[in-house]
Amino acid sequence: MPKHKHPTNNKQTFFQPLKTQIQKTTSPTKQELFKYTLILLPTLIFFIVFFWLLDVPIPNLIQLFT
């Protein structure tokens, strides 16, 4: 039985929508980048401290039960 060619098998047909979407993307402005950085840094610090506080007592608990 012969294989039927599906239109998406054509490279140009497949990549054209991808190229169109990539052309629609934009880089963030300086203000947006600054805003996102101000959001990211406190969030990062929070999680660093949170996991550090979780991690510190674990060896003591393990030693207590062994």
pLDDT tens, residue by residue, 5-26: 655 567 778 888 888 899 999 9
Q: Within the chain, what is the greatest distance between any pair of CA atoms?
A: 71
The one-character DSSP state at 66 is -
Predicted structure pTM score: 0.56
pLDDT over 80 (residue 39): yes
> What number is the average pLDDT over the span 35-43?
97
Q: Exposed, middle or buried, 39 (CB in 10 Å: 0-12/13-18/19+)? A: exposed
